[in-house]
Chains A and B, each alone.
Chain A
């Protein structure tokens, strides 16, 4: 399958990635190094949502427990650092190995169910993971685990904020590219077929369970990677990364952007987190009373926004924009 360079499905993501690549440079000019940190965090969540969307948007599986894998990635870094192992490749390796093992075991159990039961069971596993980590006094428990220095990779030093930023960006672009290949491949087609009508796929002779499991494991590993990066960014591993509200946020971000597209989740994550940052610090100075309410109760606006998106903008932000452009192009 060749890439259509003039399609909006290429140039919009490409433009966005380019903009993200330029942020550290802009930050230097505006002497606002904070933007590097802010967008590092946003990109990490964009990565996690991208991973989730493989099974959510393309597989039709609503996992309410993907934050569990964020925790796996974060604590791999945390626990190994606490024992004196600082090598980044080792951190990543261990995180992925543990992540794959957990995802295979959990996936084998949860994928036997569907619908609401699936949602509940994935939630249950995430909750169990959360309670387990909270009770581990040796690794900080609910206080979390401080990490002395970031993973050491030898060839580059991510203790430099900008280097870390570009590492995250590379990961994001890499996974995006990988997924774009994946969803158009045979594997991706089967997965989408399963979402649309599993019985038909089974009748056609596809071992749908294996495909679903593989997709689940892959999407979990992307979240593990995101967790690894998050621990490095904050130099902290905390059970709060694994709370069910985080899993819920990931789903919201995916739908917000447009879960039937590849790039939508990234748009959703960026919009959601920028909105969160913006609303809680909104101080235009016109009406102090309104400002006060807004800063304290901005979550209500997020709630209204989510409801509005579900009721109105069903394709999500990116999905709708794409639809608009492609419709206009069609009319030509």
Chain B
């Protein structure tokens, strides 16, 4: 097993994990603090990707193929969309039980998918890696796609920024307090409604960043949000609902294990059992790995790796 290959795979796992974190952060905050299950988070990711791709392919104020403009449109678009659905539909569900929230946001998923299909068609929508980042970077003799390096960089930067926001600012303190005891925070005179909307908007914006990042490397199509939504849910449950730290570590662990597992499990199996069995069982077990991981974590720590302590 050449060491370069292992490092490349670790980088791949890291990149996937960082993408998962971008999605998990928004979802876990909304869930932990507002006690709201938002399945439409995957749709916000999808819309972020579509907005960014559209802005990249069409001239905005005369400029075309600008990743910067695509980024602004994508992130802003998701943010606005998130705030709009929160104010119009979701706010009435805060006091309802999780099942109602799951169903209503499930309904939203259906609507968003059809809207995307109607506007941009059922097949993949074209989006490419920007010219400047389409090459390969060489570090210590290992070549790795430049764009994916950027994803890792952006993801870590966002993680650091979110950490600073939550831990070091007043708003962050209010958010943490709200996670522990929302009623008390309200009683202290803080405008909970505004805080909730801001929080939801932040989550939506993060989903938009994820969509923007994913667009050039993955297929932008209706329904692209659901598969990654499922994995994101696994991440936040494993990490501990409401915990950003939990989301970060769980996302990285899930990302790395899924990537390494997918690649090396069949090889490992092939050395233990005969080839055709390994070929059949390998991919099957690899797909199940993250679920097994989640089950294992929950068996020992039912509240997740870094549970939030509720006051």
Chain A: residues with CB nearer than 8 A to chain B? Answer: 56, 62, 109, 112-113, 115-117, 119-121, 123-125, 127-128, 131-132, 134-137, 244, 248, 251-252, 255, 293, 296-297, 299-300, 302-307, 309-311, 314
Contacts and interface: CB of A to CB of B under 8 A. Distances in A.
Interface stretch (B46-54, B144-152, B190-198, B283-291): B283-291
Chain B interface extent, by class: 35 or more
A106 B305 CA distance: 22
A62 B98 contact: yes
Contacts of B237: 116-117, 120
B295 A109 contact: yes
Contact of B104 (A116, A296, A302, A307): A307
B89 A300 contact: no
Given A115-B98, A116-B98, A116-B241, A300 B111 contact: yes
Contacts of A314: 100
B137 interface: no
Q: What's the dominant secondary structure at chain A's contact region?
A: helix
A152 to B, nearest CB: 31
Given A112-B302, A116-B98, A137-B280, A248 B106 contact: yes
A144 to B, nearest CB: 17
B298 A123 contact: no
A293 B115 CA distance: 11
Interface string B267-311: 000000000000011011001100110110011001000000000
Contacts of A131: 284, 287-288
A125 B283 CA distance: 17
Contacts of A248: 106
B103 A252 contact: yes
Given A124-B291, A135-B284, 19 more contacts: A119-B102, A121-B294, A121-B298, A123-B233, A131-B288, A135-B280, A135-B283, A137-B280, A296-B117, A297-B114, A299-B113, A300-B110, A302-B110, A303-B109, A304-B111, A310-B96, A310-B100, A310-B104, A311-B92
B107 interface: yes
A117 B298 contact: yes
A69 to B, nearest CB: 17
A124 B100 contact: no
Given A113-B302, A303-B111, A307-B107, A124 B283 contact: no
15 contacts: A116-B237, A123-B230, A124-B234, A124-B291, A125-B291, A127-B230, A135-B281, A135-B284, A299-B110, A300-B114, A300-B118, A303-B109, A303-B114, A307-B89, A314-B100
B34 interface: no
Given A251-B103, A303-B108, A116 B31 contact: yes
A125 B295 CA distance: 9
Contact of B98 (A56, A113, A119): A119
A132 B284 contact: yes
A302 B112 CA distance: 12
Contacts of B111: 300, 303-304, 307
Nearest to A256: B103
Contacts of B102: 62, 119, 251
Contact of A306 (B106, B117, B292): B106
Contact of B114 (A62, A116, A299, A306): A299
Contacts of A305: 107
A128 B104 CA distance: 26
A113 to B, nearest CB: 6
A311 B104 contact: yes
B99 interface: yes
A114 B200 CA distance: 25
A192 to B, nearest CB: 16
B190 to A, nearest CB: 26
Contacts of A62: 98-99, 102
A123 B232 CA distance: 13
Given A304-B111, A310-B93, A252 B106 contact: yes
B184 to A, nearest CB: 22
Contacts of B115: 300
B37 interface: yes
